[in-house]
């Protein structure tokens, strides 16, 4: 399968899983509406798809949500297999991803540097 088609399939899977989470279709209590699907990497032979999940919640709650999604992987695969109509649907593997939290922390650090720099400039002008 071409690289573009794999990327497009990954994007479709990401949108569908996000919709299932937000719509409350996954009944596992560990799966929160605050979970975010960052990206989906589909293997070239459509055997596996790595689904990267992150959240603004604390690490422990996010990991519990990821394990809840992993337990519901069979249900998610069956629903998506019917919707996307591809010959072989990949086995889903949910992976904890800290990129949203790391990005948020980086923005906070940059903002604190800007505040320190602006306060230093006002002291020099006075």
What's 37's domain CATH number? 3.30.300.20
Q: Is residue 110 one of the residues assigned to a domain?
A: no
pTM of this prediction? 0.79
Residue 106 lies in a domain: no
Backbone conformation region of residue 63, classed left if phi is above 0, alpha if psi is from -120 to 50, else beta:
alpha
Convert the pLDDT of each residue in 88-115 to its tens digit: 889 999 999 887 777 888 888 888 887 7
Nearest to 62 by CA among 71, 53, 52: 53
DSSP 4-16: HHHHHHHHHHHHH
Range of the domain at 43: 3-98
pLDDT tens digits, 13-38: 999 999 999 998 998 889 988 898 99
CB count within 10 Å of CB 94 equals 23
Total domains in the fold of the chain: 1
Residue 114 lies in a domain: no
């Amino acid at each position: 399968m071409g690289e573009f088609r794999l990327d497009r399939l990954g994007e479709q899977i990401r949108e569908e899983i996000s919709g299932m989470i937000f719509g409350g279709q996954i009944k596992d209590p560990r799966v929160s509406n605050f979970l975010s699907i960052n990206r989906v990497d589909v293997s070239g032979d459509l055997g596996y798809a790595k689904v990267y999940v992150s959240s603004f919640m604390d690490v422990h709650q996010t990991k519990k949500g990821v394990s809840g999604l992993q337990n519901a992987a069979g249900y998610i695969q069956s629903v998506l297999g019917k919707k996307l109509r591809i010959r072989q649907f990949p086995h889903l593997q949910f992976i904890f991803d800290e990129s949203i939290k790391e990005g948020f922390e980086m923005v906070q650090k940059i903002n604190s540097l800007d505040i320190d720099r602006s306060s230093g400039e006002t002291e020099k002008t006075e």
